[in-house]
Amino acid sequence: MTLAGAPGTITHNHKAGSPVEGPPFAYLTRQFRWSNQQAMASGVTMSVQECEAMSISIKWEDIYVTGIRDIDEQHRHFVDLINRMSACTDADIRSEAGRKLVVEILNYAGMHFAMEEGLMVTHRYPDRDAHAREHRTLEATLANKAVALASGAEPRSSAVMFLWNWLVAHTNLEDKSLSKHLFKHGVK
């Protein structure tokens, strides 16, 4: 996936580990939040059709780097988990191994959110309540999807699309805003 066609604010090359600062990161603000249509057109998010193509493999891009090492490492692992789900068939996902993978994703999300929320408390992040609410919403949605996947009510492609689009949107807004605050407080 590339960022071709994305709004002009995302034309820079963000170096891994550098602080999230300055005009190139203006897209982090809510005023620059893309509409779903813009995001789809940019190629950053996925359509159901793309997800239904079994060959799809999500690639980590520097654009997703927040500059905070632990957050970035865990996001990368989350991408790996989504790719593992993407490589499954619908039958795979209903198998014992598939159910374990879904539980692993749920548990990993919970662990990652707890880590971020711990940093928010330690470093007195002013938007922590709103950010944590987004985490709770995702956890509840994931729990429902786990049941729907296991029963066959939801296809794997739909869950992959949801997870990837959520990760991109949440990373580029909430997590990068948090990372900017953490960087100012000396966290790397």
Stretch that binds Fe ion, among 23-31, 57-65, 103-111, 114-122 (CB under 5 A): 114-122
Single out the residue of 51, 69, 21, 56 nearest to residue 177, CA to CA.
21
* Angle of CA points 187, 139, 84, to nearest 5°: 85
* Three-class HEC string of 66-99: CCCHHHHHHHHHHHHHHHHHHCCCHHHHHCHHHH
Q: How far is the CB of 170 from Fe ion (least distance, A)?
A: 6
Check binding of 72 to Fe ion (CB under 5 A). no
Q: Distance between CA 37 and CA 24 in Å, rounded?
A: 22
Q: Which is nearer to Fe ion, 34 or 64 (CB)?
A: 64
**Maximal CA-CA distance, the chain:** 48
Task: Provide the mask over 131-150, with x wherever binding to Fe ion is found by CB under 5 A and - wherever it is not.
Answer: --------------------
Among 50, 116, 119, 169, which residue interacts with Fe ion (rule: CB under 5 A)? 116
- Looking only at residues 165 through 184 of this chain, which bind Fe ion when binding is defined by CB under 5 A? 175
Q: How far is the CB of 177 from Fe ion (least distance, A)?
A: 9
List interacting residues with Fe ion (CB under 5 A).
116, 175
